[in-house]
């Protein structure tokens, strides 16, 4: 049975299920974000972000959805 999409991503607005309180580990625990990015996320958003946003941010996407990514250095 699929999990209910009972949460809303504060970055993109997508419905998703946060699994942090489920019996198993949440899928987001497998996404690697550096400490500086984690701090910026805590300062900017309250609550969990969806997996698509977490993956995008881990890949260098800007904090705000719909903004161009920073050029690679």
pLDDT in tens, 6-58: 889 999 999 998 888 887 778 788 899 999 999 999 999 988 999 999 999 99
Residue 65 vs residue 14, higher pLDDT? 14
Residues forming beta bridges with residue 15, ordered by sequence position: 8
How far apart (Å, rounded) are the C-alpha atoms in residues 17 and 24?
Answer: 13
Please report which confidence band the pLDDT of residue 67 belongs to, taking 50, 70 and 90 as the band edges: low
Please report which confidence band the pLDDT of residue 1 belongs to, taking 50, 70 and 90 as the band edges: low
How far apart (Å, rounded) are the C-alpha atoms in residues 2 and 38?
Answer: 28
Q: Which tokens in the block code for residue 58? A: 């881990």
How far apart (Å, rounded) are the C-alpha atoms in residues 39 and 4?
Answer: 28
CA angle 54, 39, 33 (to 5 degrees): 35
């Amino acid at each position: 049975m699929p999990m209910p999409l009972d949460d809303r991503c504060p970055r993109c607005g997508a419905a998703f299920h946060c699994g942090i309180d489920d019996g198993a580990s949440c899928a987001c625990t497998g996404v690697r974000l550096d400490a500086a990015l984690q701090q910026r996320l805590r300062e900017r958003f309250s609550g969990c972000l969806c997996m698509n946003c977490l993956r995008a941010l881990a890949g260098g996407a800007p904090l705000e959805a719909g903004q161009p990514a920073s050029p690679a250095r």
